[in-house]
């Protein structure tokens, strides 16, 4: 891939490449576009191949003169009004297409998306080659859009389908153009951008906003804009949007059991997130600035190779999201698979750790908490659920431990891990890390749904580092005979096996010494009363 400057020489090389049917990445005021001759299906096919783009997702064609609009589409009166007002600029209109536009561009639809960019380099290139240019954002499909030539190189250097990139510096808007459909019954905003709904309503008072702009589309529903249905803008690491006061966001992030975390934060908050990488992306109330930098921030976060990415989003009731903030929300919600957590509410919730020896009654206590509305997270169950997905990490340490179907053979794993204290420690290190990461996923998902109280139960909470995750930890204790009977009955094992299991465990004193509270589990009613006393104390605070 050649790197071209945005001077006259670079622009004419780019135009020549495009005329030859090649693909060139060009700067626009929104994001970089991966351009090819829109009238040449073979050139267009290269774009899809280069990006790995699903062939059912149509492209936007870029023109340099308003007069060209009617060459490729059937413009309505409103289309001309919008063009006069907002072109050149970050607005894309969907209109009925003319015959000359190949179906490869429109993914078989009888409509076409057209835009006249404002960026002088983009327009020079279009007029120099004298062609309409089909150009999606110049990123590998699904990745954050590119807002600089470096981003394009990161994705496409060495890609056989891309001939060159023209370096036009950083993009001014940073988010893709506003997309409006003028084909349906009523004009509808499909993708928010710098031309805001409010601006469009000056010309189209009854403009609708597609539901998918801020909501996850049910998979069965047919997408108005195919681009809305595909996974988008997603970094590799699990990404979660967090809103609320900075102090509550800090508390939230610090209590996450993952070790390697990145926070894309507001300017001025950098010092607050002590245990994380931080990437400031703009002031909390400057939505243009947030839009301009958000893709760059997501890309930087990706390079940190962390386990979790948190993104601060402005604290605004979703019904009130408007202006350019609508575009910011639209992109970030997709990057985070629609997981948004209100940290102010989360801070009011309680996370209680419940630990103790086998048969002490952790489950009983969690059962009582569950009745009070706490979400019960059983770390043993969690490990069962994720053990197969953790196989590669386990095999890197223990060698082959999976059966033909790729599932972990727990007996083989047990034999290998229990062969020495060192091996057991290695197993625990992996298991604890994976379990706590999954616990954080479960908590995020529940909090995004509005549930904020949790009871996390496990025999190894201290070793797994759950202290940071929990507001406090309760140790449940019971005498040895009671525990023995419970374990035998529950797991259907004999005295010998039960005793064996006990001998592997930490002493009762270990739990009592480390826990914030100890509850003796010999009488259910008393247990509940004691628990209530503790809960009362936290409600007062
Ligand atoms: O700012 C931009 O629009 C950038 C620059 C390069 O111009 N381009 C861009 O293209 O963002 P792309 O392909 O990443 O996004 C185009 C969006 C997709 O969501 C696609 O589904 C939608 O426009 N689209 C294109 N043609 C359509 C049509 N005929 N009907 C409905 N949606 C369409
Ligand atoms: Mg795109």
Domains and CATH numbers, the chain: 2-213 (3.90.870.10), 238-346 (3.40.50.11030), 351-540 (3.40.50.300)
CA distance 189 to 197: 7
pLDDT of 382 reads 96
Q: Which atom of ligand 1 is nearest to the CA of 190?
A: 32
For a pocket test of ligand 1, which of 225, 292, 327 has the largest count of ligand atoms closer than 8 A to its C-beta? 225
pLDDT of 498 reads 86
Cα diameter, the chain: 89
pLDDT of 65 reads 96
Pocket of ligand 1 contains residue 28 by CB under 6 Å: yes
CA distance 294 to 147: 9
- Residue segments in the chain with a per-residue pLDDT below the cut of 70: 219-231, 318, 540-541
CA distance 359 to 489: 10
CA distance 168 to 29: 10
For a pocket test of ligand 1, which of 34, 38, 60 has the largest count of ligand atoms closer than 8 A to its C-beta? 60
Q: Which atom of ligand 1 is nearest to the CA of 176?
A: 1
Handedness of CA 135, 137, 143, 149 (dihedral sign): positive
Q: Which atom of ligand 1 is nearest to the CA of 106?
A: 29
Q: What is the DSSP letter of 218?
A: P
Q: Are 369 and 455 in contact (CB under 8 A)?
A: yes
pLDDT of 219 reads 65
pLDDT of 414 reads 86
CA distance 164 to 226: 28
Pocket of ligand 1 contains residue 24 by CB under 6 Å: no
Which residue, chain included where needed, has tokens 């299906």?
41
Pocket of ligand 1 contains residue 178 by CB under 6 Å: no
Whether a cis peptide bond, with omega within 30° of 0, leads into 60 is no
- pTM for the model stands at 0.90
pLDDT of 184 reads 84
pLDDT of 98 reads 96
Pocket of ligand 1 contains residue 109 by CB under 6 Å: yes
CA distance 306 to 258: 9
> How far is ligand 2, taken at its centre, from the CA of residue 207, in Å?
23
Q: E strand or H helix at 104, and its extent?
A: helix 103-106
Handedness of CA 52, 54, 60, 62 (dihedral sign): positive
Nearest one of 174, 49, 51, 58 to 113, comparing CA atoms: 58
Pocket of ligand 1 contains residue 262 by CB under 6 Å: no
For a pocket test of ligand 1, which of 114, 118, 136 has the largest count of ligand atoms closer than 8 A to its C-beta? 136
CA atoms within 13 A on the CB side of 46: 22
Pocket of ligand 1 contains residue 106 by CB under 6 Å: yes
Pocket of ligand 1 contains residue 133 by CB under 6 Å: no
Pocket of ligand 1 contains residue 147 by CB under 6 Å: no
Ligand 1 atom 32, closest CA: 225
Q: Could you report how far apart the first and last alpha carbons of the chain are, in Å?
A: 61
Pocket of ligand 1 contains residue 327 by CB under 6 Å: no
Q: Name 202's Cβ contacts closer than 8 Å, sequence gap at least 6.
A: none
> How far is ligand 1, taken at its centre, from the CA of residue 384, in Å?
43
């Amino acid at each position: 891939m050649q790197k071209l400057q945005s001077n006259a020489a670079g622009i004419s090389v780019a135009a020549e490449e495009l005329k030859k049917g090649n693909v060139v990445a060009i700067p626009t005021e929104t994001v970089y576009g991966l351009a090819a001759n829109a009238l040449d299906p073979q050139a267009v096919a290269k774009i899809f191949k280069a990006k790995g783009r699903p062939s059912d997702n149509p492209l936007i064609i870029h023109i340099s003169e308003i007069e060209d609009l009617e060459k490729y589409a059937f413009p309505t009166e409103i289309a001309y009004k919008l063009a006069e007002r907002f072109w050149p600029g970050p607005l894309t209109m969907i209109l009925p297409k003319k015959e000359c536009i190949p179906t490869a561009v429109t993914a078989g639809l009888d409509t076409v998306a057209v835009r006249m960019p404002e960026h002088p380099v983009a327009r020079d290139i279009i007029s120099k080659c004298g062609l309409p240019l089909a150009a999606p954002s110049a990123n590998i499909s699904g990745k954050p859009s590119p807002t600089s030539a470096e981003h394009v190189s990161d994705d496409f250097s060495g890609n056989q389908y891309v001939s060159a990139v023209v370096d036009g510096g950083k993009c001014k808007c940073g988010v893709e153009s506003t997309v409006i459909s003028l084909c349906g019954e009523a004009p509808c905003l499909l993708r928010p951008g710098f031309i805001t709904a409010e601006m469009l309503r000056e010309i189209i008072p009854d403009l609708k906003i597609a539901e998918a702009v801020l909501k996850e589309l049910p998979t069965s529903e047919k997408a108005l804009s195919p681009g809305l249905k595909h996974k988008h803008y997603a970094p590799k690491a699990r990404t979660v949007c967090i809103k609320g006061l900075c102090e509550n966001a800090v508390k939230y992030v610090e209590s996450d059991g993952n070790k390697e975390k990145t926070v894309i934060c507001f300017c001025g908050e950098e010092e607050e997130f002590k245990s994380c990488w931080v990437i400031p992306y703009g002031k909390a109330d400057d939505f243009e600035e947030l839009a301009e930098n958000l893709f760059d921030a997501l890309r930087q976060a990706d390079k940190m190779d962390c386990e979790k990415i948190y993104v601060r989003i402005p604290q605004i009731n979703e019904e009130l999201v408007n202006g350019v903030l609508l575009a910011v929300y639209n992109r970030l919600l997709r990057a985070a698979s629609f997981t948004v957590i209100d940290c102010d509410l989360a801070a009011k919730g309680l996370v209680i750790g419940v630990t103790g020896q086998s048969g002490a009654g952790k489950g009983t206590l969690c059962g009582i908490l569950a009745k009070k509305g706490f979400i019960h997270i059983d770390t043993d169950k969690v490990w069962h659920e994720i053990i197969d997905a953790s196989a590669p990490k386990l095999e890197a340490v223990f060698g082959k431990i999976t059966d033909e179907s790729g599932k972990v053979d727990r007996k083989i794993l047990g034999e290998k891990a229990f062969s020495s204290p060192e091996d057991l420690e290695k197993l625990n290190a992996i298991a604890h890390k994976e379990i706590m990461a999954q616990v954080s996923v479960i908590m995020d998902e529940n909090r995004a749904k509005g549930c904020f109280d949790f009871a996390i139960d496990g025999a190894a909470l201290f070793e797994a580092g759950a202290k940071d995750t929990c507001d406090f930890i309760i140790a449940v204790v019971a005498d040895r005979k009671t525990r023995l009977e419970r374990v035998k009955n529950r797991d259907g094992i004999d005295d010998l096996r039960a005793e064996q299991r006990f001998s592997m465990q930490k002493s009762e004193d270990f739990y009592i010494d480390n826990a914030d509270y100890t509850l003796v589990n010999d009488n259910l009613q008393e247990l509940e009363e004691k628990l209530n006393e503790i809960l009362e104390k936290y409600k007062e605070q």
